[in-house]
Every structure is written in C-alpha cells, then in structure tokens.
Amino acid sequence: MVASPPRSDAGTDVETFGNYINDEWRPAASGATMENRNPANRDEVIGHFAASGQEDVEAAIAAADEAYRTWRLSSPITRANILHKAANILESRIPDVGRELTREEGKTLKEGIGETTRAVQILRYFAGEAQQPSGEHYPSANPNTLLYTTREPLGVVAVITPWNFPIAIPAWKIAPALAFGNTVVFKPASNTPLTALRFVEALAEAGLPAGVLNLVTGSASKVGDPLVQDPRVVAISFTGSTETGAELRQTAAKRGAKIQLELGGKNPAIVLADADLEHAVGQVVAGAMMSTGQKCTATSRAIVDRRIADRFTELLADRIGGLKVGDPLAAETQIGPLIDDRAADRVASEVDAAKKTSAELLVGGGRLGGALERGAFVAPTLFTGVEPESRLGQHELFGPVLGVIPVDSMEEAIAVANQVKFGLSASIFTRDLGRALTFAREIEAGIVHVNSETAGAEPQVPFGGMKGSSSYSREQGKASREFFTQVKTVYMDPPPSA
Ligand code: ADP
C-alpha cells in the first residue's frame, strides 16, 4: 500500500509511487512497477511507478463514473474554490515541483519552474472560468416562454497527455474538465509520471471529492488502450503524436465518443528583408531550441528572404553554436537533453539522413558524448538550403534542429509555409503592417505571431492548430467550455392558467 506520495525532501532513497483512485494512493493491482530515469543521467532513477493494467483502469473508471453523479450537480463556485486551493498548494511547491519536473523531463530549471508556475496560473484561470455564465437567454415566439440554454458536463473524461509539458498540459485539460463538472481518469506519459502525480496531489489535497480525479500510470497499451475503449468514457482529450492521434480518432469515431486532439507541428518563422534581424534571430532561436525543440509549437523552419538569408543564417549559426548544452539543473545551461535515448537516437538519425541531402549542415549534427555521455543529448543543429519538399522540410523532428529555407518573395514564403500537412503555429518578422496583416490572413495556422516566436500559449485564449495539427476543437480560454460541456436548450412555459 502506498499511503501518500512522498515529497522530494523525503530522503535520497528511490521512492515508489502509486495510482490515485477513489481518493486512495494505491499500487497497481498486479503489484507491477515501472522505473523512471533522469534523461540527463540515465544512472539516476527518479522513482518507481505503478505499471497499471486493465484492472486499475477499470477501478478508476468505476470511481469516476460513480463520482460523476454528484460532482455534476455540485456548484461551480464549490469547484472554483477547490481549483483556487489547489493553485495555492501547488504555488507553495513551485521550487520543488519545478526541480522534479526538470529531473524527470530534462528541460532547464528555469523552464521547469516556469511551467509549474504556468500550471498554477491555469488552475486560477479555470477557477475564474467556472464562475462565468454557462448559458444564454433567447427571445421566444411565445412571449410567455422562458427560452434559454445551459451548458452541462459530459461525464467521465479521459485525459491522455505527453511528456513535453508534463504539468501545463495536464493542467489545461484537467482544470476545465473539473471546473465544468466532469470527472476525470488521467493517464500521463510514461516518461513523466512524477510531475503528473504532483499535480494530482495538489488537487487531492485541495479537497476534491473521492473519484472526481483519478490518476493511472502505465503504458499506452495496458492503460491508454483500455481507457479509450471503455463506453463509460464519453470524451477523450489527447495531446501527443500524430500517429497515436489518428488511432484515437478512429476509436472515438467507432463508439461515438467526443474527442479533442492536439498533435504535431512543422512551424514556420518567416523573416522578411525589413525585419529587425537581431530581434528575429533571438526569437527564432528561442522558438527552435528552448525545451530542446520538444514543443509542438517549436519553430522548425526559418523561411528567409534571400536578400538577407546569408546574414541571417550567420547570426543564427553564431547564436545556436554558442548555446550552452548540459545538465538542465545547472544555472548556466540553456539546452537540456531530449526525453530519452530513443528520442535522441531518432533525432540523430534524422540529422544523419538530412546530411546526405542537398541541405548544408552549419552547426551541430548529432549526439553529444564526453561529459554528456550519460544523457540523451543532441547538439543544437542548423541546416541551410533546405528544400521545402524534403523530409527535413516536412517531417516533425521534435528535437533541437532548425532548417533555413531561402525564398524570393513574401508570396513564396507563405506558399512554402503552408505546404506542409500541419498548421499549428507560425511567425512572421517584419516592420510592414500590411504584410503582417496579409500573413495573418493567409497563413494556415491556428496560432499566429507577428514579431514573436512560434511557441507560447496564454491560458485565456484558444490554443490549437489547423489541418493535421488538431481536430478542429480548441483548448484553453473560453474554447475549453465548448469541448468539456454540451448544450441543453430549455423551453419553459407556465402551466395554462386555470
Ligand atoms: P509522446 O511521444 O508524447 O509519448 P504519444 O502519442 O506516443 O506521444 O503518447 C502521448 C500519450 O498517449 C502518452 O500518455 C501515451 O502513453 C498515450 N498513448 C499512446 N498510444 C496510445 C493508445 N493507442 N491509446 C491510448 N493512449 C495512448
């Protein structure tokens, strides 16, 4: 029995963590555990986590199903209070949780702390959102009819999240799901169960009733699969790979579940000749390299006016070549490892393949050894002369790799930018308002930036992509209510007077 999750200051021994089901921390029914290691140093075990299976998923869904009967009827003000309290609890733990996130995921400590802070802000935002109007009053053809809509919760929702934002993404799915009266079974990525658990712990301590939120850790096949197949799970909110998203779309379609998908990107930053190049280079490098390029909104293509392409590429090479790669807990580190060795090998082999094309490698180009040999490190990498149709120009690498594509005009830049299957985020750097407006209108992307990097998501506005990046629905902001509720229209007539 795992009584409650130990805190990071509980000692140096490697701890074992359980699932959270029906307000109880408990091991997998089978007793099986899985190990999680620090991507910056594979000798360091972060913890042992429940390697759950069908029986655990079943228990979590049953708890969520039972809890839904009363949670759906609870006051949104009560829910808001719990979210506020969870925000305060998590806020008091930002230094610890941010550090654990960095140890577990590999992004720099600044980013780990920043992301944990973001999760607190998201909890607060949705505490406020819970108290916003949830319906509309309409005129009726019958003057005596009170005609209105309300938004009601969906039921038991599956939240399935990736490892690259191990606390912000769970927060922006779970907070609105709960705020609007749903109950949740949460399956985090196998690479980041500890951060997921810290988030759930804050909500549990804030006083969520039993069964309203359940955490089940384990593999995609043993936990994710039975979870999305269960008919009691009426909706699925998923962020992850395009391939898994395509599978889940089919599963949901077959059994009529509501589904929300946030998938990949191949995000362009267009740099026009009139741009402030110093500013643009800083933003493009940040967009491409922060979090080691492992953001769905990361910049992977710099589409640059040929007249400034050489100068801009030189600036990029200088900046990227100077990035400090290393232990993400060290204050001077700018770029940490990838999530694991498999990811690092995959990115390195994509880079090797790109070296054999007409693209020219300028900086980086493979895995890093020496002092970094124990971690999943890949050198920040820059290619130029990338063909828009090549694999490097089309395929999401999910690593610290940027390709420069020189173009002759703004029209060509937009055509190249749109010539991929994705449409998540896009940037343009220019001083020309007319061109900025044309770009904002013509670019096929759900999130558009003018003179700022492609990454970044504020909680009060919709987040999501066009084309292959999403399933048309949006997350965060008011859009979250669209997904996590359904509309009821009420015609209320007085009884005929006697
Ligand atoms: P990532 O590279 O972020 O792990 P994935 O799409 O593989 O991308 O995984 C995202 C999340 O979806 C993870 O929590 C993973 O375990 C889960 N997952 C993967 N495949 C399935 C599946 N077939 N059914 C349900 N969940 C899945």
Q: Identify the band that residue 9 occupies on the pLDDT scale cut at 50, 70 and 90.
A: very low
Residue 498: pLDDT over 70: no
> Over the stretch 266-315, which tens digit does the pLDDT of each residue have?
999 999 999 999 999 999 999 999 999 999 999 999 999 999 999 999 99
> Over the stretch 62-120, which tens digit does the pLDDT of each residue have?
999 999 999 999 999 999 999 999 999 999 999 999 999 999 999 999 999 999 999 99
* Per-residue model confidence (pLDDT) at position 12: 58
**Taking all residues of the chain, what is their mean pLDDT, rounded to a whole number?**
96
Nearest Cα residue to atom 21 of ligand 1? 220
Q: Ligand 1 mean position to 227 CA, how many Å?
A: 12
* Per-residue model confidence (pLDDT) at position 8: 45
Task: Tell me if 462 sits within 8 A of 417, measured CB to CB.
Answer: no
Which atom of ligand 1 lies nearest, measured to the CA of 247?
23
* 118 located within any domain: yes
CATH of the domain at 219: 3.40.605.10
Residue 1: pLDDT over 60: no
> Over the stretch 458-490, which tens digit does the pLDDT of each residue have?
999 999 999 999 999 999 999 999 999 999 999
257 & 363 share domain: no
246 & 315 share domain: no
Q: Ligand 1 mean position to 162 CA, how many Å?
A: 7
71 & 123 share domain: yes
Q: Identify the band that residue 497 occupies on the pLDDT scale cut at 50, 70 and 90.
A: confident
What mean pLDDT do residues 17-31 have?
98
* 9 located within any domain: no
Of 369, 270, 365, nearest to 320 by C-alpha is 365
Q: Ligand 1 mean position to 219 CA, how many Å?
A: 8
Nearest Cα residue to atom 25 of ligand 1? 224
* 5 located within any domain: no
* 373 located within any domain: yes
> Over the stretch 416-432, which tens digit does the pLDDT of each residue have?
999 999 999 999 999 99
Q: Ligand 1 mean position to 185 CA, how many Å?
A: 15
CA separation (Å) from 122 to 29, 425, 446, 461, 484?
Answer: 33, 21, 20, 11, 16
252 & 275 share domain: no
Which atom of ligand 1 lies nearest, measured to the CA of 187?
14
d(CA 40, CA 114): 19
Give the structural domain span for 419.
Answer: 267-450
251 & 276 share domain: no
410 & 329 share domain: yes
424 & 345 share domain: yes
207 & 342 share domain: no
Which residue among 244, 259, 296, 346 has the greatest number of ligand 1 atoms within 8 angstroms of its CB, and so is best to mutate? 244
Q: Identify the band that residue 440 occupies on the pLDDT scale cut at 50, 70 and 90.
A: very high
Q: Identify the band that residue 5 occupies on the pLDDT scale cut at 50, 70 and 90.
A: low
Q: Ligand 1 mean position to 223 CA, how many Å?
A: 10
What's the pTM value of the predicted model, to 2 decimals?
0.96
* 283 located within any domain: yes
Q: How large is the greatest C-alpha to C-alpha distance in the chain, in angstroms?
A: 91
Q: Identify the band that residue 13 occupies on the pLDDT scale cut at 50, 70 and 90.
A: confident
Nearest Cα residue to atom 9 of ligand 1? 240
* Per-residue model confidence (pLDDT) at position 10: 44
d(CA 66, CA 406): 58
> Over the stretch 166-187, which tens digit does the pLDDT of each residue have?
999 999 999 999 999 999 999 9
Which residue among 57, 160, 229, 250 has the greatest number of ligand 1 atoms within 8 angstroms of its CB, and so is best to mutate? 160
Residues tagged active-site: 262, 296
Overall domain count for the chain: 2
129 & 207 share domain: yes
* 460 located within any domain: no
* 10 located within any domain: no
271 & 293 share domain: yes
Q: Ligand 1 mean position to 178 CA, how many Å?
A: 22
* 476 located within any domain: yes
Nearest Cα residue to atom 16 of ligand 1? 220
Which atom of ligand 1 lies nearest, measured to the CA of 343?
2
Stretch among 12-21, 146-155, 197-206, 331-340 having the lowest mean pLDDT = 12-21
334 & 422 share domain: yes
CATH of the domain at 364: 3.40.309.10
Which atom of ligand 1 lies nearest, measured to the CA of 163?
3
297 & 429 share domain: yes
Ligand 1 binding site (Cβ under 6 Å of any ligand atom): 160-163, 187-190, 220, 224-225, 228, 240-241, 244, 247-248
